[in-house]
Amino acid sequence: MQVWAIIVALLAPVSTMGQLPATGPPSPTVQVYERARPVPPTIKARAAIVLDLDTGSTLYQLDPHGRHAPASLTKVVTALVALDHLGLDQVVTVPASINQLPWDSTRMGLRVGERVSVRELMDGLFLNSGNDAAITLSEAATPRATFIGLMNAKAAALGMVDSHFVNPIGLDDPGHVTSAADLAKAAIELETRFPMVAAIATAPSLTLAATATHHAYNLLQPQPADSDLSRRDRSQNRVDRAGGRVPDRHGHQGWPPPAGDRAGIAAHLRRGRRAAGLRLRQRLIAAGRW
């Protein structure tokens, strides 16, 4: 009996401890967070790449080495080669070859024979994707064929292994290709060597100096982005010297006015975009094609 009493006495404190009121601060609640997986962006481009320039790591890529027509992104390499030979404050003459551009080319608004600075041409090259600015830069630096060779040499020097260029503008050609990875290398080179020009390329608009008087500046407006189609994927509605329809890069004929029917062409242009049609007519007259 005494043995059982001792056992009960020893166990009693243990059995009653659970009934004592809690003392001290409550235990902190532990919350477990799970890192969410990054969701890849939804894009309509056929190729893309996002780089972390501080670490050199690739954050996102989509067909980074696929060879595609670069369109006006060609002008990044055009600027690099031009700036190897021309100073920003150097003044050059606009060549007559700008009149040989396709009528639907994006333009800075240059006039043959006028004198403009390389800095002004960079404004037009990047802000309005001016094909006339690209031609003027290339021919001011070297003869056209030499310039194109220098573009390919520049690409090789930068390790742009997927690239080959045949013009300084970006006009479609089977031999005119590059990749997202290569364009990233060209953009990094522009930012590193010519940060002032890279700033022009990324500017949403242009702030004119009080002394700016060049007529082309009135035309330098940022082009609205099309969320569904790039400019090079739209029907271009080009016409040849005889007034016939030139197929776009997909072989589409679009509207087919009879060959030589200038009135039909002019009427088409006036529908929905009268102002654009008038500007086109003025350019064709200036070029001796109307």
In angstroms, the CA 120 to CA 137 distance is 11
Mind listing the pLDDT tens digit for each residue in 45-85?
889 999 998 888 998 899 999 999 999 999 999 999 999 99
The answer to whether residues 165 and 152 touch, using CB atoms and an 8 Å cutoff, is: yes
Q: 80 is written with which tokens?
A: 């690099």
What pLDDT is attached to residue 207?
62
| pLDDT surpasses 70 at 242 | no
The answer to whether residues 180 and 64 touch, using CB atoms and an 8 Å cutoff, is: yes
Q: What is the dihedral of CA 81, 99, 275, 277, to 10 degrees?
A: -130
Q: Which of 15, 44, 72, 97 is catalytic?
A: 72
In angstroms, the CA 116 to CA 217 distance is 12
What pLDDT is attached to residue 278?
52
Give which of 190, 48, 224, 198 is closest to 126, Cα–Cα.
198
In angstroms, the CA 251 to CA 192 distance is 40
What pLDDT is attached to residue 108?
86
Q: If 0-12 CB within 10 Å is exposed, 13-18 middle and 19+ buried, where does residue 44 land? A: exposed
Mean pLDDT of 22-48: 74
Q: Which of 105, 129, 163, 179 is catalytic?
A: 129
Q: Which of 34-48, 91-105, 134-148, 273-287 has the highest mean pLDDT?
A: 134-148
Mind listing the pLDDT tens digit for each residue in 92-113?
999 999 999 888 888 888 889 9
Lowest-confidence range among 83-92, 125-134, 209-218, 241-250? 241-250
Q: Is 75 a catalytic residue?
A: yes
Mean pLDDT of 140-161: 96
End-to-end CA distance of the chain: 127
What pLDDT is attached to residue 205?
67
Mean pLDDT of 213-224: 56
What pLDDT is attached to residue 105?
85
What pLDDT is attached to residue 221?
47
What pLDDT is attached to residue 253?
44
* Mean pLDDT over each residue of the chain, to the nearest integer: 74
In angstroms, the CA 120 to CA 89 distance is 9
What pLDDT is attached to residue 106?
87
DSSP 200-233: HHH-SS----TT---GGGGG--PPPPPSS--GGG
What pLDDT is attached to residue 88?
93
pLDDT band, very low/low/confident/very high, at 24 (cuts 50, 70, 90) = low
What pLDDT is attached to residue 200?
83
- For the chain, domain boundaries: 242-290
What pLDDT is attached to residue 85?
96
Q: With 0.85 as the threshold, say if the pTM is over it.
A: no
Q: Is 230 a catalytic residue?
A: no
Q: Is 44 a catalytic residue?
A: no
E-state strands within the chain: 48-52, 57-62, 91-93, 115-117, 238-239, 245-246
pLDDT band, very low/low/confident/very high, at 287 (cuts 50, 70, 90) = low
pLDDT band, very low/low/confident/very high, at 132 (cuts 50, 70, 90) = very high
Characterize the bridge pairing of strands 115-117 and 91-93.
Answer: antiparallel
